[in-house]
Structure 1
Amino acid sequence: MFRSALTRWTRALATACTLTLAATATAVAAPQDRVVPQPHNTVAIADAATLSPEQLRGLDEPIPFGEYLASRSHSKTSPTATASSAAEADDTDLRQECADHAEAAKTAKGWIRSRFESCQKKPYDLVLRDTRGSGKTLGRMWFDVWVLGFAHDGARKVEYAVSVEDITVQPAANEDATKWRIIQSFTHSINASESDPSPRVNAPGTTTRDETLTGWHNNPHWTVTYTSPDTGRVEAGNAQRVNAVILMTLGATSPNANTSYSEAGAFHSGVRFDRAGAPAGKHQGTVFTEARVELQLSLSDEAIKESTRHIRDALQHPERTFPSWPGKSIPGKDEPLHRLIDEKKKQDNRDVAIDTCQDIWGDYSGTRLQCDEYPFASTKEGANAGDDRYSARLIDGPDNEEGGRRLNSMYRANRILDGDAFYVKINP
């Protein structure tokens, strides 16, 4: 069954005009707009957005697919929303937030909630047209594709809960929409230049689902899981990182269409597997690499009010900070910081900051004061970076220490490894 489905999909791809998603050693190109096949003298499936109002005339009465089945004397069926994985049990809030971020959610990478959760909700509106002569329209179908991504903190595994939902159709008089098909096919690639030695990814046993609209209506859900093997132990100097991209191609076919609709890179997801050990929190895990990580601090938080004000001044009023020089700017808000693991280099950052504190305020030993530095000593942009784009200030010792604990908690909560980027946001 799977072999015949895959054969149909391969043949459809061979005649389709598709998008291509270029992957290089250092980056993956952003997917482009959908390609609409433009064959000569044949029947094509086209994106409705590419057609004129005249070509869409009369195609504004969608019928829910369940009602369409009933109208054809089939037993009316309801979608079988069976959870395909443990991850789907947690998808209710993610779905709602995904819908609330509709513009981002419909892009190829979707809306990325965190390093461990992502969501795509992408609507499709496709028209079957006879491109011979008059350009007769054979029907129209609408559906939503959902891809909920769950990366695991504590396992080298990423799951995608995938579905085709809310199918509606409007076939022409002699068309049978139960024979129309939707195909989803997953592939992956490894960026070896951004990975540690011998990177490997294990794909799931089934990476393609080719179903009639009836099949998708009756069972809209399926799950795709990728894993990455490791040595089974934490190794010094080798985080066993594997940077990969998961891609999905979305297709649609009909027995009366000699060419299919095909969108390569309809969904793409950057992931990283690692076994970095204690500095990352849990010893192994997986993250979505395109997530924006922020250390969020509040000026109303009494426990860290002095360190937060210091960072606020560094980011928004660098002229108030030391060392002082014309045109000074300090990274962290729009320009990211990058975590530093090397203890010797972190101490070098602290030593430069302490020298600045002593130069400006003199000997503060025997007081409650400590020298607070920003960017943090645990970043590559710290005081010893050599560009003087830092600030050192005396603040209350317990405040400074609590600020450090908040930073370390953020590192662990987001699996921030050596060299990983993050930003700093100051809230009221």
Structure 2
Amino acid sequence: MWKWPDWCDDHGVANGWYVTRIRGCGVWGYELIVRDSRGRELGRINYLAVGYEHSARDGKRWAYQMALLEVRRSGGAAVAGTKAAGKAKCRKKCKIASGSFPSQSISATKSPYGQFYIDTTINTSRRGQQGSGRGVISWRMTNPRWGSSNSAEVSTSDVRCDTALPGRTRQVGCVNPGYIPEMVYSKTGPYPELAQHIAYAQDEKNLPGKHRTTRYLTRLTDGTKQDRNRNKACPTSRPRPTGKSCDEYPFASTWQGAATGRDGFSWRMIDEGQNRKGGNALNGFFTYNRIIEADRYLVWIKP
């Protein structure tokens, strides 16, 4: 059984998914109730279903596991010998590549589980492709005394696979688009002038993209539109002191930029090296998180 991350246990039974860019986990509460022909309860098993999925930034395959953990039981013989077995299917742009959920006993010391590998069905040989899929694992409880229970199932949140990452358009990768990444700069880090300008733009000019808000920045990959943003915020007519270059916020590579956005913009002359290296760091952030056209993100300025 794959070990799910500790933060999955920290969230407890929430009956929903918590995701990072390439991992997702959730805990659901279930109960199996055994009744006689008159509807009287003979026994029950309370259990948790723990779902865990993880994808790869540089691959077309992702994985999905479901584990069933017994919490308590009552009824003795009515539930003794109960087993669980399941199967998987895919919705939207994916298919089950391999895996199984064989019949296994459930008890305080035995946790049945199923594991499946899932492939995207987008055309990975073409540039600019993307598509989302959801893995679905279903299971039933069985017992020789009473037969089979109703089926239960849990679907993952969307996993998006693409070949649309600028600069790496032939490389497929898969992420959880529901997770909003954050680019982090620090006022005491390697690009302090850049960080100070962004903090000013967010705090004093109320421009979007700030940490802990839902006023997201969205990536713009069209080079012509990026140039329009850059030229409006930092035209060549602005004098550049020696060693300085013009920094714009929101970034030229966003739909919130000076020309493509509607909320205004800020510019400032900052250290040329910090501006260049801070921009390189932003591009690395885009690549690491597979932030493609129109993907949302935030910028967190730390002290």
Whether the TM-score (by the shorter chain) exceeds 0.5 is yes
Alignment partner, residue 344 of structure 1: 224
Q: Within 1, Cα distance between the matches of 2:208 and 2:146?
A: 55
Alignment partner, residue 409 of structure 1: 284
Going from structure 1 to structure 2, the CA distance change for 1:176 and 1:272 (only over 3 Å counts) comes to closer
Indicate conservation of the 8 Å contact 2:47/2:71, yes or no: yes
Alignment partner, residue 98 of structure 1: 8
Going from structure 1 to structure 2, the CA distance change for 1:421 and 1:373 (only over 3 Å counts) comes to same
Aligned CA RMSD, in angstroms, stands at 3.0
Moved more, 275-284 or 401-410: 275-284
Deviations 1:115-166 (A, max 9, x none): 111122334344334483xx53211212232222110121111111332234
List alignment gaps of at least 5 residues for structure 1.
1-82, 191-199, 319-328
Indicate conservation of the 8 Å contact 1:177/1:213, yes or no: no
Going from structure 1 to structure 2, the CA distance change for 1:313 and 1:261 (only over 3 Å counts) comes to farther
Indicate conservation of the 8 Å contact 2:91/2:135, yes or no: yes
Indicate conservation of the 8 Å contact 1:161/1:224, yes or no: yes
Which amino acid in structure 2 is aligned with residue 186 of structure 1? A
Of residues 84, 100, 103 in structure 2, which corresponds to 1:182?
84
SS at match of 1:269: coil
Q: Offset at 1:381?
A: 1.1
Q: Within 2, Cα distance between the matches of 1:216 and 1:159?
A: 26
TM-score if structure 1 supplies the norm length?
0.62
Going from structure 1 to structure 2, the CA distance change for 1:309 and 1:250 (only over 3 Å counts) comes to farther
Going from structure 1 to structure 2, the CA distance change for 1:223 and 1:279 (only over 3 Å counts) comes to same
Alignment of 1:10-29 (within 5 A): none
SS at match of 2:269: strand
Alignment of 1:180-329 (within 5 A): 180-190=82-92, 200-205=93-98, 209=101, 211=103, 213-214=105-106, 220-229=112-121, 231=123, 233-235=125-127, 239-252=128-141, 260-264=149-153, 266-276=154-164, 279=167, 283-301=171-189, 303-318=190-205, 329=206
Q: Offset at 1:336?
A: 1.1
Whether 1:107 and 2:15 are equivalent positions in the alignment is yes
Number of residue pairs aligned between Structure 1 and Structure 2: 300
Alignment of 1:152-171 (within 5 A): 152-166=56-70, 168-171=72-75
More helix by percentage: 1
Indicate conservation of the 8 Å contact 1:167/1:217, yes or no: no
Identity of counterpart residues, as a percentage? 25
Q: Within 1, Cα distance between the matches of 2:286 and 2:203?
A: 24
Going from structure 1 to structure 2, the CA distance change for 1:136 and 1:233 (only over 3 Å counts) comes to closer
Q: Within 1, Cα distance between the matches of 2:121 and 2:152?
A: 31
Q: Within 2, Cα distance between the matches of 1:153 and 1:213?
A: 36
Of residues 389, 397, 417 in structure 1, which corresponds to 2:264?
389
Deviations 1:156-183 (A, max 9, x none): 11111332234642224x52421x3434
Of residues 118, 124, 137 in structure 1, which corresponds to 2:24?
118
Q: Within 1, Cα distance between the matches of 2:95 and 2:148?
A: 32
Q: Within 2, Cα distance between the matches of 1:141 and 1:226?
A: 31
Deviations 1:381-407 (A, max 9, x none): 111125242211222211211221121
Alignment partner, residue 44 of structure 2: 140
Computing the radius of gyration from Cα coordinates, the structure with the larger value is: 1
Going from structure 1 to structure 2, the CA distance change for 1:131 and 1:138 (only over 3 Å counts) comes to same
TM-score if structure 2 supplies the norm length?
0.85
Indicate conservation of the 8 Å contact 2:52/2:65, yes or no: yes
Going from structure 1 to structure 2, the CA distance change for 1:274 and 1:389 (only over 3 Å counts) comes to same
Going from structure 1 to structure 2, the CA distance change for 1:230 and 1:378 (only over 3 Å counts) comes to same
More strand by percentage: 2
Alignment partner, residue 331 of structure 1: 208
SS at match of 2:94: coil
List alignment gaps of at least 5 residues for structure 2.
none
Indicate conservation of the 8 Å contact 1:143/1:165, yes or no: yes
Q: Within 2, Cα distance between the matches of 1:224 and 1:364?
A: 59
Q: Within 2, Cα distance between the matches of 1:367 and 1:254?
A: 80
